[in-house]
Amino acid sequence: MVARRVAVIGVASGYGAGDPACQDGSEVVRALRFLSDLEAVDDGLHWDEPVRAAQPVPADPIEAVQGVAARLADSVGRHLAQGDFPLVIGGDHSCAIGTWSGVKRALGAPARLGLIWIDAHMDSHTVATSQTRHIHGMPLASLLGHGDPRLTGVAGDGPKLLPEDVCLIGVRSFESDEAALLRQLGVRVYFMHEIRRRGLSEVFAEALHLVSEHTRGYGISIDLDVLDPAEGPGVGTPVPGGLLRADMTDALALAHGDEKLLAVEIVEYNPYLDEHFVTARAIHDLCQSLIP
């Protein structure tokens, strides 16, 4: 296959999180050059302008997130049109609404998009069910067509994903309403207990088949809080009992070079909560195992 140039798109937005500090995550990774060895190779990755909210930033977080998502969807679409491979670095996880709505729009109406959502949480609340009203707890529901129309309507109306083309990996913290939505829709969830029993690579191989089978292509969205807090402390909502970095890089390598892999997203890096940049180095390792 022809190697695709990797375009890194930072998202300077924490409007969907309780703690907005992850808005600085991508800039820390860029400025401290944590991906420099991947930048140095021929046709290696290169950083695009970061996506930010328009000024003045709307007071309503839904409108702020909507604006960022629309801009991100445009940036992702532009890079796909140029033949680039988009690598989105958040920012809080609400940016997923922009990333995957942009990929879906680029594919065109009849084409189905698959998505592997790797996360300690389900992110499948709607405004109606969320206790916190933090939008980073809603992006997957939104992409499936549920929730506030300002979010479900980013880069085109209607669901961006069909439930049978989506799966979640690493879930261990969720509320009953979002679990009920995913169960009702029939979305496959690989909880941590299943991953511990079967091993991450076996589960991930199955997930790749699930998201590829009926789709034009698929994406991978990685919330860093899926990592065990010992190996990924730099996140806003850590949950004990997570994935190990070495297991993740082994599993992600199964998708390396897959032409159906359309884009990757790594989110929720909070540099102020990181310890000795161990989480920034995890971002590097995850990128290294996936980058075409």
Residue 84 makes contact with Mn ion by CB under 5 A: no
What the block records as the tokens of 31 is 């400025």
The least CB distance from residue 27 to Mn ion, in Å, is 20
For Mn ion, the closer of residues 124 and 212 by Cβ is 124
Region of 21-29, 188-196, 221-229, 233-241 interacting with Mn ion (CB under 5 A): 221-229
Question: Of 96 and 107, which has the nearer Cβ to Mn ion?
Answer: 96
- Using rule CB under 5 A, residue 92 touches Mn ion: no
Region 103-122 residues binding Mn ion, contact defined as CB under 5 A: 119
- State the catalytic residue, choosing from 24, 92, 123, 265: 123
Residue 274 falls in the annotated catalytic set = no
Catalytic status, residue 214: no
Q: Which of 84, 92, 123, 265 binds Mn ion (CB under 5 A)?
A: 123
Active site residue 225: yes
Sketch the per residue contact string, 32 through 71, with Mn ion: x for CB under 5 A, - otherwise: ----------------------------------------
Tell me: does residue 172 bind Mn ion (CB under 5 A). no
How many residues sit in the footprint of Mn ion (CB under 5 A)? 4
CB nearer Mn ion, residue 223 or residue 265:
223
The secondary structure of the chain, three-state, reads: CCCCCEEEEEECCCCCCCCHHHHHHHHHHHHCCCCHHHHHCCCCCEECCCECCCCCCCCCHHHHHHHHHHHHHHHHHHHHHCCCEEEEECCCHHHHHHHHHHHHHHHCCCCCEEEEEECCCCCCCCCCCCCCCCHHHCHHHHHCCCCCHHHHCCCCCCCCCCHHHEEEEEECCCCHHHHHHHHHHCCEEEEHHHHHHHCHHHHHHHHHHHHHCCCCEEEEEEEHHHECCCCCCCCCCCCCCCECHHHHHHHHHHHCCCCCEEEEEEECCCHHHCCCCHHHHHHHHHHHHHCC
**Would you say 203 and 195 are in contact if contact means Cβ atoms under 8 Å apart?**
yes
Q: Is 178 in the site for Mn ion (CB under 5 A)?
A: no
Q: How many CB atoms lie within 10 A of CB 256?
A: 12
Which lies closer to Mn ion via its Cβ, residue 93 or residue 112? 93
Q: How far is the CB of 91 from Mn ion (least distance, A)?
A: 11
265 makes contact with Mn ion (CB under 5 A)? no
Under the binding rule (CB under 5 A), the answer on residue 165 touching Mn ion is: no
- Cα 18 from Cα 11, distance rounded (Å): 16
- Measured from the CB atom, the residue of 93 and 150 that comes closer to Mn ion is 93
Catalytic one of 223, 228, 265, 274? 223
What does the binding site for Mn ion look like in residue numbers (CB under 5 A)?
A: 93, 119, 123, 223
Please list the active-site residues. 93, 119, 121, 123, 136, 223, 225, 268
